Amino acid sequence: MLSIGLAILAFIVGVIFLYKCSDILVEGTSKTAAQLGISSLIISVIVVAFGTSAPEFAISVGAAFQSHADISMGNIIGSCVANLLLVLGISAIIRPIKVKKTIIKREVPIIIGATIVLLLSSFFGLLDTHRLIGGAIFLVLFAVFIVYFIQCAKKERNNDVEKYESGKMLKNIIFIILGIAGVVVGAWLLIESALSIADFFGIPEMIIALSMVAVGTSLPELVVSAMAAYKNESDIAVGNVIGSNVFNIFLILGASALLIPLNAINSIGNLLILMAVTLVMFPVLYTGHVISRKEGVFLLVLYLFFICYIFLA
């Protein structure tokens, strides 16, 4: 274990690595997708979400490799809650987010369905006793999700395609590789520092994962969605969050479950909170087809209550 001073320093450096390298990764993936003529909503759901979910993947799968199930599971639950309340809340305060009917009819049911599958799978032991079956099911559902949106991308193909230049494409691929490498390093620092901080203060790993680690790994989503809201790119602001949560649940927990039991049955209480938060988003998105600044403040207040609950409980 690291000393407390070194652990705090490592945590800060890890967050910086995750933030900067995720930014590089998002830039590389989004520009590559733009050259292929994919619409901004599709890019945000499957491409940008991939980039911004890289920290969660590195943290949770890395923690699973090190047999820290609580960090693996807690990070995903905390990140999903942070995406819906913290990220969308701040983004809406910066600028009210317009919500297309397409998002309400297509993306929202998907994220609600994914959360329901996670809750039921945890209750019936598909991430614990029967983790290999559950992990495989999650990865298959993730593959179906990707194929579905690739089909959507073909139907909604943007005719304003950037002229293909091999030099630019190579540069973007290098960005992707460097971004992934940096995210892995940042994730390792974050895991080691979080474990040391939890051990020093006698705080359970689950609480650290739900709070500090989750917020740290949600920084890319926060930056991308907040900037998108500022630039009035509502599709990216909302699509990034929805796509990230689906990636978190199906891809990351699916891969983690293949490595170790995730003690998901012990997280039912937190999963019920995630389910409630996800359901709250439907009326927030549906009313007026916009997330207003008042609703943004409401989401932030809910997140504050969530943080208080996990520490006090």
Nearest Cα residue to 191 out of 14, 9, 5, 73:
14
**Cα of 293 vs its chain's centroid, Å:** 23
Q: What pLDDT is attached to residue 3? A: 85
pLDDT digits (tens, 9 = 90+) for 129-152: 999 999 999 999 999 999 998 888
Structure-token pair, residue 194: 């979080």
Instruction: Return mean pLDDT, the chain.
Output: 85
End-to-end distance of the chain based on CA atoms, in angstroms? 26
Task: List the CATH number of the domain containing 238.
Answer: 1.20.1420.30
| Residue 111 near residue 249 (C-beta atoms within 8 A) | no
How many CB atoms sit inside 10 A of residue 135's CB?
A: 21
* Alpha helical stretches, state H, the chain: 4-35, 40-42, 49-52, 54-65, 69-81, 88-94, 101-102, 108-123, 131-155, 166-201, 205-208, 214-217, 219-230, 234-246, 253-257, 268-286, 293-312
pLDDT at 300 over 90: yes
Q: Which domain range does residue 262 map to?
A: 4-312
Q: How many domains does the chain have?
A: 1
pTM to 2 decimal places: 0.83
pLDDT digits (tens, 9 = 90+) for 187-226: 778 777 877 888 888 888 889 889 888 888 787 888 788 8
pLDDT digits (tens, 9 = 90+) for 281-291: 888 877 768 89
How many CB atoms sit inside 10 A of residue 153's CB?
A: 21
Pick the residue with more confidence: 37 or 179? 179
Q: What pLDDT is attached to residue 163? A: 52
| Mean pLDDT score, 149-173 | 68
pLDDT digits (tens, 9 = 90+) for 15-42: 888 778 877 877 777 777 677 676 667 7
Q: Kindly compute the dihedral angle of the four CA atoms of residues 212, 7, 60, 180, in this order, to the nearest 10 degrees.
A: 110
